[in-house]
């Protein structure tokens, strides 16, 4: 009898603690929904599905950048001109594609009410309510290493992207959800735990980076601080994974719990790499692919359990962009594409064959091409990566779970 009384006492105390927390969570969700209802993008009057996550925060390189580099005066990696955006409703927006990038397509599948805004756009902070549905911090040309991309001009490193989230966006989010008291106390409010549990833990933190660390560092003829040579591939890759793990742990410490991590694409099959080595036909540069495949295998191992000791409550969805794109390259007719080796747009010589020529011509049917420029996929390929990452039951595409299941946790 005494044990029963103790049990009932514990249960009543637990309920007393959980009921206020549940109320706070419901209030936070209501605030987020109300705040974003007036800022949603898309067509007026169109019924949209209920968002499956509270928000999506994006970090990485040009494959996921949606316009941050537009606001970097010294950047040599920009996509704010035609033919970029030729099929995008907003036209040239800084996305390195003819239409959507993979973040846009994933956001649609998750039911987000509008496009995730770029951090560097001054309008993003002014529309503070829209922050609750996410912010994109990615910067074209950046990588895992702090100095990656500096040869292209001004970039925002992954470390600085996370700092921008920590020092600017997090306080804004707290202020939006908690009211003036949170801003006055710099986020150190009494119910900070509920902010993490009710909001941040329900958001997705998306990371797409690493390819530039190989293209602009490891395979750069003059790497290792401007001198010939450098560490062997295995050592370089281990260093990248260690640094990426440190960045993930930093986000975890800030409250992130659900991570979507994209692999590096088959870089050795991109038009810019093939052109650099004067490869004709459909052949890929397999030594380059082997290097990024090594990184991808180590990244999957990190997701598999390597990050667990320091991030015990974290949950991951690893999206195998390499496999998804490689399947399209190897089986084009089956998967609805025709051109697997050439870029859809005419290349700019000043960008070393990576970016499209300003106002240059483009292919007529973009859906038949894998690559829009020398490095970046077309809208059709980005949509396929997003669909597979979101809903595929195959561990070859999404591991250990897909994004839809991750969102439901």
Q: Give CA–CA dist 19/245, Å, rounded.
A: 36
Q: For all residues of the chain together, what is the average pLDDT? A: 87
- Residue 187: the pLDDT is 43
376 catalytic residue (yes or no): yes
| Boundaries of every domain in the chain | 55-408
User: Can you tell me the mean pLDDT for 104-124?
Assistant: 96
- Residue 331: the pLDDT is 96
135 has a pLDDT exceeding 60 = yes
- Residue 82: the pLDDT is 98
The band of 19, judged by pLDDT with boundaries at 50, 70 and 90, is very low
Tell me, rounded to whole angstroms, the distance of Cα 353 from its chain centroid.
24
Place of tokens 């240059």: 360
The band of 49, judged by pLDDT with boundaries at 50, 70 and 90, is confident
The per-residue pLDDT for range 24-42, each reduced to its tens digit, is 555 555 555 544 443 343 3
Q: Taking the complete model, does pTM exceed 0.85, yes or no?
A: yes
The catalytic residue among 62, 194, 245, 341 is 62
The catalytic residue among 75, 157, 376, 392 is 376
Q: Give CA–CA dist 324/110, Å, rounded.
A: 20
The per-residue pLDDT for range 355-389, each reduced to its tens digit, is 999 999 999 999 999 999 999 999 999 999 999 99
Distinct helix (H) and strand (E) counts, the chain:
14, 8
Polymer length in residues for the chain: 409
- Residue 128: the pLDDT is 75
80 catalytic residue (yes or no): no
**Which is more confident, 275 or 317?**
317
- Residue 196: the pLDDT is 83
- Residue 2: the pLDDT is 47
User: Can you tell me the mean pLDDT for 7-27?
Assistant: 43
211 has a pLDDT exceeding 90 = yes
45 has a pLDDT exceeding 80 = no
The per-residue pLDDT for range 148-192, each reduced to its tens digit, is 999 889 999 999 999 999 999 999 999 888 764 444 444 444 466
Q: Determine the 3-state secondary structure of 281 from DSSP.
A: coil
The catalytic residue among 65, 104, 213, 373 is 373
- Residue 352: the pLDDT is 83
Give the torsion through C-alpha atoms of 232, 234, 235, 239, to 10 deg. 130
- Residue 372: the pLDDT is 98
55-408 has CATH 3.40.50.1110 classification: yes
- Residue 228: the pLDDT is 56
Q: What percent of the chain has pLDDT over 70?
A: 82
- Residue 41: the pLDDT is 39
**Which is more confident, 283 or 180?**
283
**Which is more confident, 235 or 276?**
235
- Residue 178: the pLDDT is 75
What angle (nearest 5°) sits at the alpha carbon of residue 253, between those of residues 251 and 254? 65
- Residue 276: the pLDDT is 85
For residues 33 and 110, the answer to whether their CB atoms sit within 8 Å is no
The band of 220, judged by pLDDT with boundaries at 50, 70 and 90, is confident
- Residue 290: the pLDDT is 97
373 catalytic residue (yes or no): yes
Find the range with the poorest average confidence among 25-29, 235-239, 270-274, 297-301.
25-29
70 has a pLDDT exceeding 60 = yes
- Residue 13: the pLDDT is 36
317 closest CA partner among 392, 382, 240 = 392
Task: Tokens for 41, please give them.
Answer: 């993008």
- Residue 44: the pLDDT is 36
Q: Give CA–CA dist 77/80, Å, rounded.
A: 10
Partners of 153 in the β-ladder:
75
Tell me, rounded to whole angstroms, the distance of Cα 136 from its chain centroid.
8
Q: Determine the 3-state secondary structure of 210 from DSSP.
A: coil
77 closest CA partner among 335, 390, 337, 354 = 354
- Residue 102: the pLDDT is 98
Q: Give CA–CA dist 136/286, Å, rounded.
A: 32
């Amino acid at each position: 009898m005494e044990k029963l009384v103790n049990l009932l006492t514990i249960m009543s105390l637990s309920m007393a603690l959980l009921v206020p927390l549940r109320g706070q969570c419901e209030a936070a969700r209501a605030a987020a929904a109300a705040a974003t209802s007036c800022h949603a993008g898309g067509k007026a009057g169109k019924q949209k599905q209920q968002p499956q996550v509270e928000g999506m925060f994006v970090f990485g390189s040009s494959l996921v950048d949606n316009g941050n580099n537009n606001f970097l005066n010294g950047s040599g990696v920009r996509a704010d001109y035609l033919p970029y955006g030729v099929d995008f409703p907003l036209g040239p927006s800084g996305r390195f594609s003819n239409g959507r990038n993979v973040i846009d397509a994933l956001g649609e599948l998750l039911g987000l009410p509008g496009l995730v805004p770029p951090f560097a756009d001054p309008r993003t902070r002014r529309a503070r309510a829209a922050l609750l549905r996410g912010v994109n911090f990615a910067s074209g040309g950046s990588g895992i290493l702090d100095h990656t991309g500096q040869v292209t001009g001004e970039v925002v490193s992954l470390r600085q992207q996370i700092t921008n989230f920590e020092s600017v966006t997090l306080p804004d989010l707290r202020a939006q959800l908690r009211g003036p008291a949170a801003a006055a106390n710099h986020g150190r409010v009494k119910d900070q735990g509920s902010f993490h549990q009710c909001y941040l833990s329900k958001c997705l933190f998306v990371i797409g980076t690493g390819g530039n660390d190989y293209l602009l560092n490891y395979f750069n003829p003059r790497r290792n601080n401007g001198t010939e040579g450098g560490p062997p591939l295995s050592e370089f890759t281990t260093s990248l994974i260690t640094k990426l793990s440190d960045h993930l742990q930093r986000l975890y410490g800030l409250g992130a719990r659900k991570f979507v991590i994209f692999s590096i694409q088959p870089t050795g099959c991109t038009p810019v790499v093939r052109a650099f080595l004067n490869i004709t036909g459909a052949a890929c540069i397999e030594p380059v692919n082997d290097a990024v495949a090594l990184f991808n295998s180590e990244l999957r191992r990190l997701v598999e359990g390597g990050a667990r000791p320091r991030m015990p409550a974290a949950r991951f969805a690893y999206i195998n962009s390499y496999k998804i794109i490689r399947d399209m390259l190897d089986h084009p007719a089956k998967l609805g594409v025709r051109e697997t080796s050439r870029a859809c747009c005419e290349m700019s010589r000043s960008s070393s064959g990576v970016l499209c020529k300003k106002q240059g011509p483009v292919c007529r049917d973009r859906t038949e091409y894998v690559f829009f420029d020398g490095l970046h996929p077309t809208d059709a390929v980005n949509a396929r990566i997003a669909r597979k990452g979101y809903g595929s039951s195959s561990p070859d595409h999404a591991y250990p779970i897909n994004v839809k299941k991750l969102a439901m946790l």
